[in-house]
Amino acid sequence: MTSSSYLAPEEIAKITREYLEGKVPPKVVEESVEKLTKYSLTREELEKILQMIVEEYHSNTVDPGEPVGTVAAQSIGEPSTQMTLRTFHYAGVRELNVTLGLPRLIELVDAKKTPSTPIMYIYLEEPYKYDEAKAKEIARMIEMTKIENVARRIDIDVISGAVVIELDPAMLEDKGVTVEDVKKALEKLRSKKAKVVVSETNPYEIIVVFEEGIEPTKAVKIREKIMKIKIKGIKNINKVIVQKQGNEYVLVCEGSNLAEIMKVPGVDFKRVRTNNVKEVEEVLGIEAARTLLIEEIKDTLEQQGLDVDIRHIMLVVDAMTRYGTVKQIGRHGIAGEKPSVLARAAFEVTVKNLVDAAARGELDTLPGVAENVIVGGYIPVGTTKVKLVYNPYLR
C-alpha cells in the first residue's frame, strides 16, 4: 500500500467529527479525534474504527430497567464502611481544621444547613494575585475582628460606672487596627448614653463611661457585649490565612459568607469557593449547589483513598436536587417522601408510617422495589419493568 492512501490528520479529524457527532457524547468525539490523528490510517481502517467506537459506546450505556439507584447505593455504601468513623480533624492548612471522612460524607448527604467546619477559598484578581503584601491587605480587610481579639483585658468598674479596655499593641498591629478604629466601633455601637475616651496615662487604654452607671447584676452581660463588638471585617469570616497555590496567593478562611465576599473589590468573584452547600444553593442557585455537592462528595471519598465512579455520585446528587432544593437522603428527604407506603415503612419508623397512612387512607400501587419484595411480587427491574398488553384492535 502506498503512503498516499493514508489520510492526513486534518482529514481524519474531519471524518471522525462528522461520523461521531450526535452518536456519542462530545467528550468522546474530542478524545477520539485527539487519539486518531496520531496514527496513519486509510479511509477503510478509520471507518472500521469509528464504527467500533460507536458500538463500544452503546454496549457501555446503561440498559433500560437497570437498577442504577441500587447499584449506586452499593457502590458508595461499601467503600464508605472503610472510612474513619472518628470525627477526624487534621491540620491540613496551617492552623486550620477541616472535617473529613465519614462525618463529612454524612454531613453532605444529610444536607446540613452549615458544615461543622465552614471553609472558604478566596481567589484574587490581578494586582493582588501575585503580591503577598496586597493579598494580606485584603485578608486583613475581610477578617472579622472583634474587641476581644485585640483586648488584653476588659475590666468593669461598677462604682464609677466605667469599662476599662486595655488593648494589646501587638494584636492591633497584627490585625491592622488602630486605637482610633476601636474607639469608633465602640462609639457607633453604644445605644445607651456613654462616653468613650482614650486614657491620658496609657495610649492603649480606652475607657467607656456610662452616665447612668452600671448595675452590678448586668456587669457581666455588658462585658460580653463589648467583647463581641465588631471593629471591622465581614461577618462569619473568622480567620484568614494567606496561602500560596502555584504562583498565586489565595486566602483561606475559616467561616463562610459567600454573598458578602463576592462584593469585595479585588476578589475574583468567579472563582470564590465555599464548602457550604446550602449557602451556595441560596446565593448561586440549585445547579451550582449540584456541582459543588458532586465535587465535595468526590473529594471526600478520594481523600480517603476510595475510588468510586463519579456517575454514582452524580446520580445521588441528581436525586437530592430533583425538586429544586437540596434535600437530604434520609427520613426527612428522599426516603421519607417515597410515594409507596410500604417502601417508607420498610425504611424507618415502621409503625408510625403505617398508622399515619392508614389514618389518611393512602393507597399503595406498588410502584417500586421494596414494596414488591414485601408483598412477594416481581420487582420492577430489568425485564419485569416492561409491561406488555396485547391489543388486538391496534393496527
Partner 1 sequence: MPSKKVSSKILEHELVPKHEIVSVEEGMEILRKYGIRPEQLPWIRANDPIVKAIGAKPGDIIKIVRKSPTGGEIVVYRYVVPPLV
Residues that bind partner 1 (CB under 8 A): 25-30, 259, 262-263, 265, 269-272, 280, 282-288, 291-292, 310-311, 314, 318, 321-325
Compute the least distance from the CB of residue 50 to partner 1, in Å: 18
Beta strand pairing call for 96-100 and 88-93 = antiparallel
Compute the least distance from the CB of residue 135 to partner 1, in Å: 17
* DSSP SS3 for 353: helix
Compute the least distance from the CB of residue 195 to partner 1, in Å: 37
Q: Which is nearer to partner 1, 62 or 349 (CB)?
A: 62
Q: Contact at 8 Å (CB) between 312 and 298?
A: no
Q: Contact at 8 Å (CB) between 274 and 256?
A: yes
How many residues would you count in the chain? 395
Compute the least distance from the CB of residue 265 to partner 1, in Å: 6
Q: Which is nearer to partner 1, 174 or 282 (CB)?
A: 282
Compute the least distance from the CB of residue 385 to partner 1, in Å: 15
Q: Which is nearer to partner 1, 196 or 297 (CB)?
A: 297
Q: What are phi and psi of 266, to 5 degrees?
A: 95, -20
Distance, in Å, from the CA atom of 6 to the CA atom of 295, rounded to the nearest integer, reads 43
Compute the least distance from the CB of residue 389 to partner 1, in Å: 17
Distance, in Å, from the CA atom of 299 to the CA atom of 306, rounded to the nearest integer, reads 10
For 77-116, list the strands marked E by DSSP. Answer: 88-93, 96-100
Distance, in Å, from the CA atom of 332 to the CA atom of 42, rounded to the nearest integer, reads 60
Task: Please name every residue paired with 195 in a beta bridge, in sequence order, or none if there are none.
Answer: 209
Q: Which is nearer to partner 1, 220 or 259 (CB)?
A: 259
Task: Please name every residue paired with 123 in a beta bridge, in sequence order, or none if there are none.
Answer: 250
Q: What are phi and psi of 156, to 5 degrees?
A: -115, 125
Q: Which is nearer to partner 1, 29 or 98 (CB)?
A: 29
Unique residue bearing C-alpha cell 416481581: 378
Q: From residue 75, give the alpha-carbon distance in Å to each of 72, 81, 121.
A: 5, 11, 30
Q: Which is nearer to partner 1, 239 or 311 (CB)?
A: 311
Distance, in Å, from the CA atom of 312 to the CA atom of 294, rounded to the nearest integer, reads 10
Compute the least distance from the CB of residue 61 to partner 1, in Å: 11
